[in-house]
Every structure is written in structure tokens, then in C-alpha cells.
A and B are shown apart, each in its own frame.
Chain A
Amino acid sequence: MEPQNQPTRKHGLTTIDGALALIVILLIVQMWLLTATLESYLAGHHEVVLSAAIISGVLFLICAALYLFVIRIEAEERKAQRETSGFRETQNFH
């Protein structure tokens, strides 16, 4: 483990963990929404079905956006790590 990389890596991991926690919360809401919609549908309340589908779609899009965010953060952090370690290797070589 390289001490110079630690702050950057920690920052990146914390950001990803935050996004992950948010996705988990959204997923719990989506699960509740699905069960509540099914219950209402079976009870004959068809008027709630469309709005529930729209909200569920929005929640999914937010989750997908957070996933793209995680990919981006990961790419940036790993790239930064590689550049740092590559720079150090070059210094050691000279």
C-alpha cells in the first residue's frame, strides 16, 4: 500500500460508498412501492398503477445514474493511482 495514494483512494471509496448507500435506500423504496402497487391492484384500485410505474422508473433512472457515477469515480481514481505509481517508478529508475 502506498501512503501517497491513500487520501485519494479513501476519498474515492467514500464517495462510492455514499452512492451505494443511496442506491440501497432507493431500492428499499422501490421494493415497498412494488408490493404496495400489487396490493392496490389486487384490491381493485387500478388508478394508482400508472403513477407507481412512473415513480419506479424515475427511481431506476436515479440508480442507473448513480451507477454511472460510480464507474466514473472508479475510472478517475484508478487512473490517478496508476499515474502516481508510474511517476514514482520512473523516479526510482533514474
Chain B
Amino acid sequence: MKLFRRASKEPLWKDEFCINRADEQYVNRRQFTKFLVLTSLGMFAGNIWILMRSCFSKTPVYPEKNICRAKDVPVGGVWLFRYPTEKDACILIRPDEETYVAYSQKCTHLSCAVYYAPAKNRLECPCHEGYFSIKTGDVLQGPPPRPLPRVVLERRGDDLVAVRMEIQKEG
């Protein structure tokens, strides 16, 4: 059985631009079906692309970066910095005397910059009112689907050093 059987032995142009209205209805439907199947192929290609990225993505290597001196950040204050690249904005918070936490400043919803709300002790995204926990970076409220990526800090003497990023899984 031939898979692609032509409707007639007429030339292709005659087949596609038919005179009969009845034939035209078939051609319209067939062409619409073809369009849908190509869209389906596109969806499949998208899934394959994600699979490839998942298979061949390398484990990122994070450089160590000196952020600031610990005493530069007041209690209840913040320090903005960029890590691991100059394009990645991060926020360092000192909620109390001994605690320093740092997160990516990009909201996981639509990448707006989050800011620290000291009165409520949480990170807030002004765009769609997404709130994040200071302790863990988890989503407290709003549309963000994932927690904020955390910057792992080390204290070396008086300096605060960013060591790596930790992408936290939801749930």
C-alpha cells in the first residue's frame, strides 16, 4: 500500500486548485491537517531540545568571589552584588547580627528584581506580589513557581565570599 496516494492522476496544481467545490473541501481539510501535524512535530522537537539540554548540560563551575566585608552590611541591611557573572544580580541580607544570606535577585516568576522588606522580614517581588522566605528562599505567596536560587556564602576572616549557587527544588 502506498502511504502517499494522490487523489487523482491530474497534475498537482489541478488537484490542489480544484474546480469542484466538493473537492476543495477535501483539500482545505487536508492542508489544515498538515499544518496541525507540523505543529505537532514542532512540539516534539521542543521536547527533544529539552532532553538534549538535560543530557548534555555541564555541571556549572562557580568561581569564588569576595563580596564585601561583613561589617559593611548593617543589621537589617542589604548589599547588592553580581554573581557568578556580571549579568546575574544578587542580594545579600543581614537579618540579624550573625546571619548572612544571599539569593539571586531575579524573581523566578518573570525575572523582576526582588527586594528586602525588613518590616516583614521577607523578600518581595513588586511586580506580582510574590514573597520569598529569608531563611530558605522558598515561595511564601504569589505566582513564583520556584524558590530563589541561593548563593552559598563562606566567612573568611572579616570577608564574605560567594562559593557557589544552589538551585533549590520546589516541593
| Size bracket, chain A contacts | 35 or more
Chain B residues with CB below 8 A from A70, complex form: 29-30, 33
How many of chain B's residues touch chain A, expressed as a range? 35 or more
B5 and A46 contacting across the interface, CB-CB below 8 Å: no
Cross-chain contact A66 with B54 (CB below 8 angstroms): no
Query: In the complex, are the beta carbons of A13 and B3 less than 8 A apart?
Result: no
Among residues of B, the one whose C-beta sits closest to the C-beta of A56 is: B47
Partner of A59, one of B40, B145, B170: B40
Do residues B21 and A63 form an inter-chain contact, with CB atoms below 8 A? no
Question: Does B25 interact with chain A (Cβ within 8 Å)?
Answer: yes
Q: Secondary structure at chain B's binding surface: helix, strand, loop or mixed? A: helix
B146 at the interface (CB under 8 A from A): yes
Report how far A17 CA is from B29 CA in the complex, Å: 8
Residue interface bits B12-54, CB-to-A below 8 A is 1, else 0: 0000000011110110011011101101110110111011011
A79 to chain B, nearest CB (A): 7
Tell whether B87 is near chain A: CB-to-CB under 8 Å. no
On chain B, the residues within 8 Å of A63 by CB distance are 36-37, 40
Q: Determine whether the beta carbon of B29 is less than 8 Å from that of A23.
A: no
Decide yes or no: A39 and B145 within 8 Å by CB, A27-B40, A30-B44 being known contacts: yes
- Is A20 touching B51 in the complex (CB atoms < 8 A)? no
User: Which of A9, A27, A31, A53 has the most CB atoms of chain B within a 10 A radius of its CB?
Assistant: A53
Chain B residues with CB below 8 A from A5, complex form: 22
Other than A20-B29, A43-B170, give 13 A-B pairs with Cβ distance below 8 A: A23-B33, A27-B36, A27-B40, A44-B167, A44-B169, A52-B50, A57-B44, A66-B33, A67-B37, A71-B5, A72-B5, A75-B7, A78-B23
